[in-house]
Every structure is written in structure tokens, then in C-alpha cells.
Copies of this chain bind each other. A is one copy, B any other.
Amino acid sequence: MRNVMYSLETACSNTWRDKWMNLLSAFLICSGLAIFGSFLILSFNMESAVRKWFNDFSIVIYLNKGISSDEEEALKNFFIQDSDVLSLRYISKEEALLELKDMLGAGSRVLESVEENPLPSSFEIKMKREILIPALLRQKTALFSKVPGVNEIQFGEEWLESLIRTSMILKSLLLITGTALASTVIFISYGTIRILFYRRMDEIETLKLLGATRRFIRMPFLMEGMIIGTAGGALCSLSLFASYRLVSLRLMELMPSLKAFLVTMPEGIFFYGPAAGAVLSFIGSYFAVGKIKY
């Protein structure tokens, strides 16, 4: 207990004595963490975008032309009870025509010569996330298309495939760069603390000769490492928070539609930043101090 106190005292006074050096290290660790953090934020935002695109994905079920509204109602009830269906929207022939005209824009003059509305009514159905895989979805739609009253089922198979591919690419990119960056950060912390440690070699030699145990020698270093790491982490949280707010505000100004995608910075960052800094520095310091041999 007394030893812990002495260690803490030593750690604090060492930290203070080498304050400029330690500030430097804290900044280095902060840089490392900030790079990692920006990456995390970026990847959260990308994931949120992908999720949103998945949410917007829907299949369209075109109904037979002559179908009555009672039959339509029955079909609606049937589909909505399916366990894979998330939500359903009914689109009448008229609505469909309007949408088509809207979509064609100036090209809609093609429709001028059409007297009778040639479009069928339809359901736009959103499916559960689990089933949004081409193979599964094809099975499902094959089933649906056998239901009497259903004429044809359409869904953007290519879109879905490219969505899935995009999300896979994102995931693997995140994994690759994530691991690379995380190890870089650990390495920056390790290297920094190791370099700091070299300065203290003589001191450690002397401590050993004076009869200090391994614990006694190691503890202040670990504590100092954690102090520096925590400081670096806190600094990183602060600067990330501030710059993310700034950047995201500026981005939203330029492109209001981004609002839907941008995730808000979790408050937890003020816990995770310092914690990550402390843990990394602890690990770094631990290896930096290394095996103390007598």
C-alpha cells in the first residue's frame, strides 16, 4: 500500500518534471488515437449510409389488370401477414402513372399519345434485412408470384447485388485499414514510451543497485505511461469532438441531404478516448519497461 503511494508520488513527480517531453508524447499518442478515431467515425457514417440504403430497398408487386379492390384488399392482408415483410404500400394505377410521368420528366411526351392508363396497380413492399440477399429474395418472390392476382414481381436485383457488394467492400476495407491503423496507434504509443524509457535506463540501473524490486521500478513507469496516455486520449476526444462537429456542420450546410446519414458523435467518446489512451499506453509501457533482470 505504501509502495503504491510511493509509486504514484514518483510517477506524478516524474511526469511533472519531464512535462514538456511528456506533453510531446501525449500529443503523439493523441495523434495516433485521433487518426484511429477519425477512421472509426468515418466508418460509422459509411455504415449508417449503407444501412439506410438497405432500409430503402423495396420490391414491387404488380397486380393483374382487371383486379377488383376487394381482391386487392385481400392480397394486401395476405402479404402483410408474411413474416418476412416489414411494411407495405399500395400504389394505385393513377398514382403509378403520375410517378412514371414524374420520372420521365420532359420525356413524358411519350405518354401523351396513350389514351388509356396502361399501368397496373401495385404493392411496394419492404422486406426484413435478413432476407435481402438475391438468392433468398428470388425464392420469396417466386412464391409470391404464384399467388392469384399477382401479375409480376420486380426488384432491383442489380442494385441489391451492388449494395451487398459495396457493404462487403466497406467491411473488408474497414477491417484491413482498421487493423493497420490500430496497430499503428499501438505502435506509436509503444514507440513513444519506449523512447521515453530509454532516457531512464540509467535511473533504472541505479534503482536496481539500490535494492528496488521489479514492482517498485515498474510501477511508476506504468503509472506515468497511463497518465500520459489518459491525457493524450482526453485531448484526442476533445479535438475529435470539436472537429467532427465543425466538419459535419459545414458538410450539412453544403449538402443538407447528408443529415439523414451523418451519425451524431456518441457522448461516450469522452470515456473511450482516455480509456483507450490509458490502456494502450499501459500495454506500451509494460513492454517498454520490459523484463527487468538483476
A interface list, Cβ under 8 A from B: 21, 24-25, 27-28, 31, 34-35, 38, 62, 100, 105-107, 109-114, 116, 118-119, 152, 154, 162, 165-166, 168-169, 172-173, 176-177, 180-181, 184, 187-188, 191-192, 194-196, 198-199, 243, 247, 250-251, 254-255
A191 contacts B191, CB within 8 Å? no
Q: How far is the CA of A114 from the CA of B118 in the complex (A)?
A: 10
Cα A152 to Cα B107 with chains together (Å) = 10
Closest to A24 in B: B191
Q: Contacts A106-B154, A152-B106 given: A195-B31 contact, CB under 8 Å?
A: no
Kindly report which residue of chain B lies nearest to residue A255, judged by CB atoms.
B165
With A31-B187, A100-B107, A110-B114 given, can you name 12 additional A-B contacts, CB distance below 8 Å? A21-B195, A24-B195, A25-B191, A35-B181, A105-B154, A162-B255, A165-B255, A166-B255, A168-B254, A169-B255, A172-B250, A198-B199
Q: Write out the residue numbers on chain B whose beta carbons fall within 8 Å of the beta carbon of A119.
A: 107, 110
Query: Of B105, B112, B176, B184, which contacts A34 at CB under 8 A?
Result: B184
**26 A–B contacts from the bound complex (CB under 8 Å):** A27-B191, A28-B187, A31-B184, A34-B184, A62-B106, A100-B107, A100-B110, A105-B154, A106-B154, A107-B119, A107-B154, A109-B118, A110-B114, A112-B118, A114-B114, A165-B255, A168-B254, A169-B251, A169-B254, A169-B255, A173-B251, A180-B243, A191-B192, A192-B195, A195-B195, A199-B199
Among A173, A180, A181, find the residue whose CB has the most chain B CB atoms closer than 10 A.
Answer: A180
Shortest beta-carbon distance, A50 to chain B, in Å? 14
Contacts of A180 in B (CB 8 A): 243
Stoichiometry, as copies per complex, reads 2
Collect the chain B residues with CB atoms within 8 Å of residue A187's CB. Answer: 27-28, 31
Q: Name the residue on B nearest A184 (C-beta).
A: B31
Residues on B with C-beta less than 8 A from A199 are 198-199
Q: Which residues of B contact A112 (CB under 8 A)?
A: 118
A25 contact set on B, CB distance < 8 A? 191, 195
Note all chain B residues with C-beta closer than 8 A to A21.
Answer: 195, 198
Q: B118, A176: Cβ atoms under 8 Å? A: no
A172 and B248 CA atoms in complex are apart in Å by 12
Q: Which residues on the B side are within 8 Å of A106 (C-beta)? A: 62, 152, 154
Residues of B within 8 A of A113 (CB): 114, 116, 118
Q: Which residue of B lies closest to A35 (CB)?
A: B35
Q: How far is the CA of A112 from the CA of B250 in the complex (A)?
A: 49
Cα–Cα, bound, A100→B105 (Å):
13
Whole-angstrom distance between the Cβ of A152 and the nearest chain B Cβ: 6
